[in-house]
């Protein structure tokens, strides 16, 4: 079985000197949890400048869906690089952008006709959905959720309610957004229990919010992640999304699914909303869509995407290289990787649930496919958040050559490439267990 190879103390000398330079010249706003410098990578293995090899269960924040530098994706990029690097879809047409829009419109859940707007990132895709919702409905209000992460540009940040730090000193933001509770059943905002709660967190919106404070006919859109990502890998019960979908239909409110993190096969379906039987009006995509090249997409029903020429655009959005990488990525997803995400996700989930039986500090294990969160607590009865243990686990794992990331306040996210093998899952589980045990040694 292939294991990480850690040959130096971490960080190694070359890594350390590069990070010293970084500290002098790169923005200090980035959150780096541990000192990894990625020099090269293949599949789920990342090599640093000192020759250390790490097992990557982050996939560059759920981006490298097909694994690092998948040969088919690299080949598609190289072929395109020889043909056309840039022309700008704002003013001209080019084949990869047209073909990708055609493909996305074909695979989106629903039997309607769809159109695609291209940007460069998740935030840009969300920003575009936000603007289109206003344009199409001529309504000014929107609903979003506590715990949501939709990006960091001013519009997307206004919809975000994940960590207060992300908004600190940036007010005033875009007005007219009301944040409401998400179905975080492990920590129910109403201290109720599913299913006897009757999804009170969702029914409250029509029963109370729309009666007392917000006229539904002024609401343009509901922005919702199918599974909250940055907020803690939180999977709501299916009735939660269905209730909001019903409300959206009843009041002509647009249902916008932010699939930037959950989309592109990660959860074992091309789009995570499929798990909940929902066909959204608008879907935002980025991260896994192009295996690491920058690309954001906002897909909307054709009758909704009715804005006029000049109302929104982007010089680089949907650039030829990114579109070719996305077409190669989708082909790989459709021809095996989505089903691998399902199978390897089950293996990882059951391994973590086994660990939970022995480790009191694992409060909750949840997720779908290869989007799995492990929430650490000081005490299972009180559910006191074990944020420092979570951070120590991540640092211990790094020292042993396993790359992990956190999300929420006290959750570890596991989001490896969809190419991950059964053996690589086993190695991750072994190191995860050792790293957790070390906290209490």
Ligand X SMILES: Cc1ncc(COP(=O)(O)O)c(C=O)c1O
CB 411 within 8 A of CB 232: yes
CA–CA separation, 205 and 385 (whole Å): 28
261 binds ligand X (CB under 6 A): yes
| Smallest separation (angstroms) from ligand X to the CB of 208 | 27
375 binds ligand X (CB under 6 A): no
| Smallest separation (angstroms) from ligand X to the CB of 231 | 9
> Dihedral (C-alpha) 104, 227, 338, 246: value to the nearest 10 degrees?
-60
- The nearer residue to ligand X, 18 or 174, going by C-beta atoms, is 174
Interface pick for ligand X out of 119, 122, 265, 373 (rule CB under 6 A):
122
Of 214, 145, 131, give the one whose Cα is nearest residue 174. Answer: 131
384-390 long-range contacts, Cβ below 8 Å, gap at least 24?
Answer: 385/409, 385/410, 386/361, 386/410, 389/361, 389/439
Interface pick for ligand X out of 230, 243, 281, 364 (rule CB under 6 A):
230
Interface pick for ligand X out of 44, 73, 76, 126 (rule CB under 6 A):
126
Q: Kind and range of the H or E element at 60?
A: helix 59-62
Give the 3-state secondary structure of residue 420.
coil
Q: Which two tokens stand for residue 283?
A: 């879907």
Q: Kind and range of the H or E element at 285?
A: strand 282-285
| Smallest separation (angstroms) from ligand X to the CB of 34 | 19
Q: Which two tokens stand for residue 219?
A: 């609401």
436 binds ligand X (CB under 6 A): no
Q: Which two tokens stand for residue 173?
A: 């933001």
CA–CA separation, 155 and 397 (whole Å): 36
Rounded to the nearest 5°, which phi and psi values hold at 269?
-130, 155
121 binds ligand X (CB under 6 A): yes
- The nearer residue to ligand X, 296 or 363, going by C-beta atoms, is 296
CA–CA separation, 351 and 308 (whole Å): 52
Cα 356 to Cα 236, 343, 361: the distances in Å are: 21, 20, 8
CA–CA separation, 192 and 187 (whole Å): 9
Interface pick for ligand X out of 94, 145, 149, 271 (rule CB under 6 A):
149
| Smallest separation (angstroms) from ligand X to the CB of 116 | 17
Only one of the segments 37-45, 120-128, 175-183, 246-254 lies at the binding site for ligand X (rule: CB under 6 A); that segment is 120-128
| Smallest separation (angstroms) from ligand X to the CB of 126 | 5
Residue with tokens 């001209």, as numbered in its chain: 92
CA–CA separation, 51 and 122 (whole Å): 32
Task: Tell me the per-residue interface mask from 241 to 260 with ligand X, x by CB under 6 A, - otherwise.
Answer: -----------------x-x
| Smallest separation (angstroms) from ligand X to the CB of 286 | 5
- Tell me the residue nearest to ligand X as measured from the CB: 122
What is the footprint of ligand X within residues 279-308 (CB under 6 A)?
286
123 binds ligand X (CB under 6 A): yes
80 binds ligand X (CB under 6 A): no
Of 29, 33, 34, 28, give the one whose Cα is nearest residue 15. Answer: 34
Interface pick for ligand X out of 4, 151, 265, 363 (rule CB under 6 A):
151
127 binds ligand X (CB under 6 A): no
Interface pick for ligand X out of 43, 229, 317, 369 (rule CB under 6 A):
229
Only one of the segments 119-127, 201-209, 212-220, 390-398 lies at the binding site for ligand X (rule: CB under 6 A); that segment is 119-127
- The nearer residue to ligand X, 361 or 412, going by C-beta atoms, is 412
Rounded to the nearest 5°, which phi and psi values hold at 280?
-65, 155
CA–CA separation, 46 and 130 (whole Å): 36
Give the 3-state secondary structure of residue 414.
strand
| Smallest separation (angstroms) from ligand X to the CB of 66 | 17
Only one of the segments 172-180, 222-230, 268-276, 343-351 lies at the binding site for ligand X (rule: CB under 6 A); that segment is 222-230
- The nearer residue to ligand X, 108 or 126, going by C-beta atoms, is 126
Interface pick for ligand X out of 56, 225, 243, 375 (rule CB under 6 A):
225
Only one of the segments 12-20, 139-147, 149-157, 374-382 lies at the binding site for ligand X (rule: CB under 6 A); that segment is 149-157
Taking each helix axis from N to C terminus, what angle separates 422-439 and 338-358, rounded to the nearest 10 degrees? 30
Q: Which residues bind ligand X (CB under 6 A)?
A: 121-123, 126, 149-151, 225, 229-230, 258, 260-261, 286
């Amino acid at each position: 079985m292939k294991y990480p190879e850690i040959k130096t103390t971490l960080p190694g000398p070359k890594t350390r000197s590069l990070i010293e330079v970084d500290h002098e010249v790169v923005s200090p706003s980035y959150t780096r949890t541990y000192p990894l410098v990625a020099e090269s990578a293949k599949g789920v293995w990342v090599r640093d400048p000192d020759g250390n090899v790490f097992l990557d269960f982050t996939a560059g924040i759920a981006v490298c869906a097909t694994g690092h530098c998948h040969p088919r994706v690299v080949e598609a990029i190289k072929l395109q690089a020889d043909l056309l690097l840039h022309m700008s879809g704002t003013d001209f047409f080019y084949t990869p952008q047209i073909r990708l829009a055609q493909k996305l419109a074909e695979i989106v859940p629903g039997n309607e006709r769809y159109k695609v707007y291209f940007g460069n990132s998740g935030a840009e895709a969300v920003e575009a959905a936000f603007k289109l919702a206003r344009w199409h409905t001529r309504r000014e209000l929107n609903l979003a959720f506590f715990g949501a992460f939709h990006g960091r540009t001013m519009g997307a940040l206004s919809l975000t309610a994940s960590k207060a730090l992300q908004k600190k000193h940036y007010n005033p933001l875009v007005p007219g957004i009301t944040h409401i509770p998400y179905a975080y059943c492990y920590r129910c905002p109403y201290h109720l229990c599913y299913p006897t709660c009757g999804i009170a967190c969702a029914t409250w919106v029509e029963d109370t919010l729309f009666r007392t404070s917000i006229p539904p006919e002024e609401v343009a859109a509901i922005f919702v992640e199918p599974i909250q990502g940055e907020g803690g890998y939180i999977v709501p019960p299916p009735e939660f999304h269905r209730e909001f979908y019903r409300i959206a239909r009843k009041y002509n409110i647009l249902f916008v699914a932010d699939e930037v993190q959950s989309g592109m096969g990660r959860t074992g379906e091309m789009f995570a909303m499929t798990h909940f039987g929902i066909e959204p009006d608008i879907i935002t995509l980025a991260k896994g869509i192009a295996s690491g090249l920058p690309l954001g997409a906002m897909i909307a029903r054709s009758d909704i995407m009715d804005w006029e020429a000049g109302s929104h655009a982007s010089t680089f959005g949907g650039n030829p290289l990114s579109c070719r990488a996305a077409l190669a990525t989708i082909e790989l997803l459709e021809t095996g990787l989505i089903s691998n995400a399902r199978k390897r996700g089950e293996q990882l989930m059951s391994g973590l649930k086994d660990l939970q039986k022995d480790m009191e500090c694992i409060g909750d294990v949840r997720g779908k496919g290869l989007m799995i969160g492990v929430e650490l607590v000081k005490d299972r009865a009180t559910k006191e958040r074990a944020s420092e243990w979570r951070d120590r686990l991540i640092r211990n794992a790094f020292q042993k050559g396993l790359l992990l990331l956190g999300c929420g306040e006290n959750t570890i996210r596991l989001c490896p490439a969809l190419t991950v093998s059964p053996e690589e899952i086993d190695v991750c589980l072994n190191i995860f267990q050792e790293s957790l045990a070390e906290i209490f040694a």
